[in-house]
Amino acid sequence: MDENDRRLMALFEAISRIPRGSKNEEGITRWFEAWASGRGFRARRDASGNLLIAVPPAPGWERAPGVILQGHLDMVCEKTPASTHDFTRDPIRLIREGDWVRADGTTLGADNGVALALAAAVAERTHTPRPPLELLFTVDEETGLTGVKGLQAGWLAGRTLINLDSESEGVFTVGCAGGRDVTIRRAPVRAAAPAGEAIVRLTVGGLCGGHSGIDIHRHRANALKLLARTLAGMRSPGEGRLMALSGGTRRNAIPRDAVARLACPAAGIETLRRQAQAAEALFRAEFPAETTLFLSIEEEPSAAGPLDALSAGESAAVIHLLLALPHGVAQLSPDFEGLVHTSGNLAMAAVSAESLRIVTSQRSLTRSALDAASESVRAVAALAGARWETESEYPPWTPDLSSPLLDRCRRVYRECTRTEPRVSALHAGLECAIIGSIYPDMEMISFGPTTENAHSPSERLHVPSFCRLQGFLVALLASLAAA
């Protein structure tokens, strides 16, 4: 490890000492403002709290077009059950294990601390050929891209942007999916179940779940879908009225657990148990990767009077709605082998005798396909007599495989490493998509060092790839300055 690599690691360690969970970026912002002031760089914030640092070019390269280095200031704050870490005040404790660095029982914050450290390290190398730089550090990326959505046209001078928020060395990301959440609401039809009916709880659990973009192609089961299929197989006329149903925790996660409460004749409980056991066996065969999948039927204490429940027809309507809503891969990319182009996620449901709310999430690499996927959800809602609304969306970053910036990156990477890089797109959101919608003439690419298990306490950073990426970034900036 040479002097430049040691400085890069020192910057990453300094950044890691500052608490910077989403919506708590004030400390790290002030640190970078002080860092910039100490080097004579101009730093300013916008109304959303995003930070922009202007770095002068190396001597002799004043006429070179400017380049933006971009990452986000916040990190996901997760820890093990045994950890006593306080993310509002405690520094991240780094542990080196061979070529890897991890944190002590918490997320590491390499997502996206590596971008902050790389940008700062390159900016400090004042005698290396490079163009004028803008270091764009956004806030609140991890909870909905809210910082970058607040960018204003005209704030950035450069028209070449390098996003440093990718996670595999040697892979250039040139596109990402756009996303849209559609929420369905309906006022259920109620009809009290007779007094003396048994109350049973049907649970589907133990599923793998996963990220609704990155993991949607891995043939993982959706707990809400399995619950609806089980309920559809159990129901007979006038029996098994729904009292409540719920499942899913986040818009961008495949549901791992779901539960329904039913009112039914006591004499039918054993039949329901057998049906649940049969469904569990069927689902285990259908989803072999779900090794801990289970279905259970538990009886709850009966109420003295009539039970507040949905009518038999309304119970059927809810089950049919969950069955009909699209989930999973809808289309594969024609340009990238194995990459999902368009998908849907039945993300969350909360149903009671008073209300129904279902949240779906659609993703696609093109806006037209995203519109079509969303329209399918709206059509199903309309057929169910429900209303819908769009609650959150961001545009796709559609890949441009003829990009001159991509050609230059590939050439410089081959010169630096004697290896051929891969080119890919991501079936998840990157800030490039938002920036490209605000600055349509911006040429962009994304890359980063190898990191694993982001957003979990198992997150770790491969140090050699981190250091090699600094060398590549320096060479790329020199090439861009000379262009």
99 is catalytic: no
User: Residue 146 contacts by C-beta under 8 Å, 6 or more apart in sequence?
Assistant: 48, 139, 140
Per-residue pLDDT at 237: 40
* 407 φ, ψ (degrees, to nearest 5): -60, -45
Nearest to 122 by CA among 414, 483, 480: 480
Length of the chain equals 483
For the chain, state the CA radius of gyration. 26
Which residue of the set 25, 74, 140, 167 is catalytic? 74
The answer to whether 4 touches 125, Cβ cutoff 8 Å, is yes
Beta strand pairing status for 51-55 and 133-138? antiparallel
pLDDT at 239: 56
- For 295-331, the pLDDT digits (tens) are 999 988 776 566 788 988 899 999 999 999 999 999 9
Q: What is the pLDDT of residue 139?
A: 98
* pLDDT tens per residue, range 222-241: 999 999 999 998 865 445 68
Amino acid 260: pLDDT: 96
pTM over 0.85: no
Q: Which of 25, 134, 140, 141 is catalytic?
A: 141
- The sign of the dihedral angle between the CA atoms of 62, 66, 69, 72 is positive
206 close to 220: Cβ distance less than 8 angstroms: no
Q: How crowded is residue 185: how many other Cβ atoms within 10 Å of its Cβ? A: 13
DSSP secondary structure code for residue 235 in this structure: -
Beta-sheet strands, E only, within 355-479: 356-364, 387-394, 422-426, 443-446, 451-452, 460-462
In three-state secondary structure terms, 234 is helix
Q: List helix spans (H) across 88-214.
A: 110-124, 146-149
The one-letter amino acid code at 419 reads: T
Q: What backbone phi and psi angles, to 5 degrees, belong to 436?
A: -65, -30
- In 3D, which of 153, 115, 280 has the Cα closest to residue 204? 280
Q: Is 74 marked active-site?
A: yes
The pLDDT value given to residue 80:
87
The predicted pLDDT at position 238 comes to 43
What ranges make up the beta strands (E) of 365-407? 387-394
In the chain, the domains with their CATH numbers are 3-177+397-482 (3.40.630.10), 180-394 (3.30.70.360)
How far is residue 67's CA from residue 93's CA, in Å, rounded to a whole number?
33
Contacts of 329 (CB under 8 A, 6+ apart): 216, 217, 340, 342, 343
Q: Is 438 helix (H, G, I), strand (E, B) or coil?
A: helix
Residue ranges for the chain with pLDDT beneath 50: 237-238
Asked if 201 contacts 370 with a C-beta cutoff of 8 angstroms, the reply is no
